[in-house]
Amino acid sequence: METIYINTPIGIMKLQGNESGISKICLLNEAIEISTKIPKIFNSSIQQLNEYFEGKRTHFTFQINPIGTEFQKKVWQELINIPYGKTCSYLELSKKLGDVKAIRAVAAANGKNPLLIIIPCHRVIGSDGSLTGYAGGLWRKKWLLHHENPLKQESLF
């Protein structure tokens, strides 16, 4: 398993993967040296993440290999189906998965998402529209949702 660190508009991102695909993308809160030597397996993921942050990409096509239980993978697959620029509540997500009573399990699986941004768990909000937990921090969730919003609010001042 290879590991690299890249700089993004929302902080330093750690990527891990091998020939089977990228298995982990997370955001760090501490300062760490950015990788200067990048193995080939990361070329496509870095390019696509850069395009996403530049506003030129709305979905990802590089190979992923998330590690988790079958239930977690089922939840993560449903997260991938949430369109760019849209949100979904935990309750709606539970209904899509066929069990409204599984809302806590769905939320827990969402919280274990190993591929932030690629599997867009930041698009899941509370039923009342509130921003709820995000492994990268709520400020980053807010930033990502604003970044993906097709109707950008310009500052009046």
* Residues acting as catalytic residues: 121
Q: Three-class SS of residue 138?
A: helix
For residue 106 the two structure tokens come to 């769905």
Angle separating helix axes 70-80 and 103-111, nearest 10 degrees = 80
Antiparallel, parallel or unpaired: β 88-89 and 21-27: unpaired
Strands (DSSP E) contained in the chain are: 2-8, 11-18, 21-27, 88-89, 124-125
